[in-house]
Amino acid sequence: MRFIERVSAAFRSNKERYFRTRNLHLAVILLAQGFSLVGLNREDRQNHEFAFRKTFELEQTVERFNEKLPIYVEAGRLIYSWKALREKMHSDHN
């Protein structure tokens, strides 16, 4: 029983450590802002889930995004982040 409790606690803490989103636009902004992409999970060619290390600053940025408030990102970083994520999404399927 203790083993199950430990495994359950590990999964619970894992959820608390990472922010996950399927929104490509949000993922691009987070990457451009300098947040660490720690995982990319794929269900199929069209459905991807991006995982970022959760921080207070990341949660504030996500909140601003969800409330449609301005988020200022350097244009070059935005374009680089978009290309990097798209490339990672496509290269992982080949």
**Is residue 78 packed enough to be buried (19+ CB in 10 Å), middle (13-18) or exposed (0-12)?**
middle
For CA atoms 5, 8, 12, 13, give the dihedral sign: positive
Q: What is the pLDDT along the chain (94 residues), one digit of tens a residue?
A: 555 555 445 555 566 899 999 999 999 999 999 999 999 988 777 789 999 999 999 999 999 999 999 999 999 999 999 999 999 888 855 5
Measured from the Cβ of residue 16, the count of other Cβ atoms closer than 10 Å reads 9
Q: Which domains does the chain have, with CATH numbers?
A: 2-91 (3.30.70)
Q: In the prediction, which pLDDT does 3 show? A: 55
Whole-structure pTM value: 0.79
